[in-house]
A and B are shown apart, each in its own frame.
Chain A
Amino acid sequence: MSDPFFSRKRKRGPARNGRPIKPSPRQEEPSKDIADEEITDPETSDEELQDADTEGSRTTVESDDQSVESDDEEFVNETATEKRRRLAQQYLENLQNELNVAGFDARDVDKDILAARLQEDVAEEQGRLYRFLTPSFVFVRPVRKFLSYKGMLTPTAIAGAENILYTVSKDRTLAKWDATTGKRLRFKRGDHDKEIVCIAVSSDGKFIATGGKDRKINVYSPELGLLKTFTQHRDSVRCLAFRRGTHQLYSGSADRTVKSWSLDALSYVETLFGHQDAINDIAALAQERCITTGSRDRTVRLWKIVEESQLIFRGGGPTSGQKLRFVEGSIDAVAMVDHHIFVTGSDNGTLSLWTLQRKKPAYSVHLAHGLDTQLSPEAYTAEKVQFPTAPKPQPRWITCLTALPYADIVVSGSWNGIKVWRVVAEESERLDVDGVVAGGKRKQYSLDFVAEFKLPGVVNGVTLLENGKDEIRICAAVGRELRGGRWMRRDAKNGVHILTVKKKSV
């Protein structure tokens, strides 16, 4: 091939993980050792990679362009355009090598695959929903598996990365499971003095963080070795989330603060204030932003950490336009779909879809999990002479919510099972006041019901694991009580239900 891209010698190591993540202005981006090693695979026939071997020992890749120039004399006299070209070619090379794992010649990698992958990267960088998976998966009769261990109390949260699941429960235990085989690999007990309430796993699976009622955040390695304990929170730590692709951790607590931690340095970074009630749930994607819900203050806040500001989204209205009206008393769960859309669930059963542009939900599904069964007279009163009318059936709260990042699947859980929803984006033409078509298109989002899976017990946590491109595992942590207290007791076994959903065979 006469293409200079293939014949030119390269001294500089490859770009970080094939994805150019923009560095935050305050922090240096951590290195990705694994990616470098994969690319320096000597089996591939490309001669350029042999040069990269010498760079194998160099594990840190600086983000500054100036440092690159100081290292390589070859590129000192480059112009800006030439440099851009060179970096773009390196990026393409990385992509090709990533797609080319089977060992074929890089030149044979289909250009369409490469183009699709490039589009994905661009979309993820833009932060837009680009994976429309729901239509291509079959949600009927998934393969079910149940994981539990003897003496397991109500699981309060679940998190996972790749094929590993982690659960925490009220018996102060952190358990590690293999999602494919269903075996419990490890468990850890004794680091928390009170119930463990939340858990988060970084997207590469390297750090596991748990938070509990004892105000501690414990950080573990994948072998469940305790790395660090953070005690800065002043009340129970209710929720944890990792920034996707990094080792930054965000925690929300009952002391109404959100704290940011850097796990590369195992240190506390900063605190964010604003919520007026305990923070129930937190969600984050690749940006240095997180979304938290403030339970009874009925607000959902997006924290722009770099700019030290917050956007306030207000919920709390009754279910308008419905025959049965239940006021939204508390917003309990949140999941981020992409950088501009997120979904929340509240205690009146409302599942709301929000956009960053509006302070009110863009779309709401009322009574998403229906109404609870009416209590029998024996259940609602201890008196012998019972009231003639039983209390009206109340809506089922949405206890947990999760979404696949940048994809259109949202799963919500309550105490009658889980429901799968689809985020539908419709482009409609923007109309003027008089109804005349004005310039520009407006995107309208809505939630479509896809499937329901009944599970016994209260679903306290749910997470989605992707097994390649063909399988999605919906992992629901189910218990006999609610995560936050003992307001109800259900007849069920404490454990994790894994529902494997497969892609449609064409």
Chain B
Amino acid sequence: MAENTLPRSTITAMRMPENSVFPRSRKPEKLNKKRKNVTTQQQNFEHQSVPQIEEPVGKKRVSKHAPQEVSAKRPVSRFREVIEVPKIVRRDPRFESLSGKFDEAQFRKNYAFLHTYMDSELQDIAERIKKTKDTNEMQNLQREYQSLDSKLKASKRKDFERDILKEREKNERELVKQGKKPFYLKKADKRKLILTKKFSEMKSSEVDRAIKRRRKKNMSKERKQLPFSRRD
């Protein structure tokens, strides 16, 4: 026992063994690597924790009920933790397997409610643009309006395209069930399909305008390939 003057329960900083209620706290990882060749002269074990030293011999677990077998030749430091503090486990759901894999369709379904707010938000921004007199603010608001507007339009366009392609897939599946061989479209063909569907729903004036725009675009592209002398 300790000297006669000290009480039996000493209140010095002494580490408590692993059998406490709280889980073991781990020390910083870099100190782990230090203890490769432990000799009797090496006495600087200030921050080494119990789990590091009690490394099992052979690293093979016989049974979880069996006593732990550990080397008897590693010196132990005089420091002991009296109260073990539980380590706060930080988890990033982006990198965790518990969160599962990203499923785009499911994601869209879950956050579809946001689109219901987007229209009202657009109107809100338009009103604010009318009201503001400050040019800076107006510019910012305009940018915001543009961004939100284009987001909405893009999402609508994507939905439209997805529907078309899905319909085609459904038809194909039915045919396959009936016995036909599956036929997969190229990207170009897919675009063509989408375009035809789009044009079929538009009015004739709009269709004309769309065609005109495309032609202009294509012309400018082709113009680059012409030699300098022939460019207008």
Would you call B83 an interface residue if the criterion is a C-beta within 8 Å of the partner chain's C-beta atoms?
Answer: no
- Chain B residues with a Cβ closer than 8 Å to the other chain, count: 31
**Do A357 and B65 form a contact, CB below 8 Å, given A276-B80, A277-B80, A314-B18?**
yes
A311 and B75 contact, CB distance less than 8 A: no
Would you call A267 an interface residue if the criterion is a C-beta within 8 Å of the partner chain's C-beta atoms?
Answer: no
30 A-B Cβ contacts within 8 A? A256-B76, A271-B40, A272-B72, A273-B76, A276-B50, A276-B76, A277-B14, A278-B2, A298-B17, A298-B19, A299-B17, A302-B67, A305-B72, A308-B71, A308-B72, A308-B73, A309-B57, A309-B70, A310-B71, A313-B67, A314-B19, A316-B17, A317-B19, A330-B8, A357-B65, A358-B66, A483-B1, A485-B1, A485-B2, A486-B4
A359 and B68 contact, CB distance less than 8 A: yes
Question: Which residues of chain A come closer than 8 Å to B67, judged between CB atoms?
Answer: 302, 311-314, 356, 358-359
Would you call A142 an interface residue if the criterion is a C-beta within 8 Å of the partner chain's C-beta atoms?
Answer: no
Measured between C-beta atoms, what is the minimum distance from A376 to chain B in Å?
22
Measured between C-beta atoms, what is the minimum distance from B81 to chain A in Å?
10
- Give the secondary structure class of A's interface: loop
Q: A310–B76 Cα gap in the complex (Å)?
A: 14
Q: A299–B53 Cα gap in the complex (Å)?
A: 15
Measured between C-beta atoms, what is the minimum distance from B48 to chain A in Å?
12
Q: Which residues of A contact B (CB under 8 A)?
A: 238, 254, 256, 271-278, 280, 295, 297-299, 302-305, 308-317, 329-330, 356-360, 482-487
Question: Which residues of chain A come closer than 8 Å to B8, judged between CB atoms?
Answer: 330, 485, 487
Question: Which residues of chain B come closer than 8 Å to A273, judged between CB atoms?
Answer: 72-76
Smallest CB-CB separation from B5: which chain A residue? A485
Q: Per-position contact with A for B68-98: 1 when CB-CB < 8 Å, else 0?
A: 1111111110101000000000000000000
Smallest CB-CB separation from A313: which chain B residue? B67
Q: A155–B8 Cα gap in the complex (Å)?
A: 20
Q: Which residues of B contact A (CB under 8 A)?
A: 1-4, 7-9, 14-15, 17-20, 40, 50, 54, 57, 65-76, 78, 80
Taking A278-B1, A317-B19, A359-B65 as known contacts, 17 extra A-B pairs with beta carbons closer than 8 A to each other, sorted by chain A number, are A273-B74, A274-B74, A276-B17, A276-B50, A298-B17, A310-B72, A311-B68, A311-B69, A312-B54, A313-B67, A314-B17, A314-B67, A358-B67, A482-B1, A485-B3, A487-B7, A487-B8
Q: Which of B1, B20, B40 has the most CB of A within 10 A?
A: B1
A309 and B50 contact, CB distance less than 8 A: no
B70 and A310 contact, CB distance less than 8 A: yes
Measured between C-beta atoms, what is the minimum distance from A298 to chain B in Å?
6
